[in-house]
Amino acid sequence: QPPRSCEDYWWEWKHCRGLRHAFHHYYAHGELPTCDRWREDYEACRAWEKGRAASAQVRPAPPQRAAASSSGRLWTLRKSPPPDWYLPLDQ
């Protein structure tokens, strides 16, 4: 059984193809979003509902943290604040 209803995959696909989402994704990532996965998951979900075939199982979504960590960190994490964190900045 798919983890979500088939309508959820349909609405995610429709949202992904929307102009507002495409503009935001292009602004943030520099490329248009690829929405093929949502369409494939929707079709697999419908095929599973019709025939309950094991070959039509929906793939699990990749973890978002793995995608974020592969892009590299912008800041180095630290254990404590700097010793002079409360002093005003030099101007």
pLDDT of residue 67: 47
**Per-residue pLDDT in tens (0 to 9) along the chain, 91 residues:** 667 888 888 999 999 999 999 999 999 989 998 999 889 888 888 888 887 766 555 555 544 444 444 555 567 778 898 898 888 887 5
5, with CB counted inside 10 A (0-12, 13-18, 19+), is exposed
Task: Look up residue 65 and give its two tokens.
Answer: 């943290």
Closest CA to 44 of 78, 91, 1: 1
Is this model's pTM higher than 0.75 or not?
A: no
Helix (H, G, I), strand (E, B) or coil at 82: coil
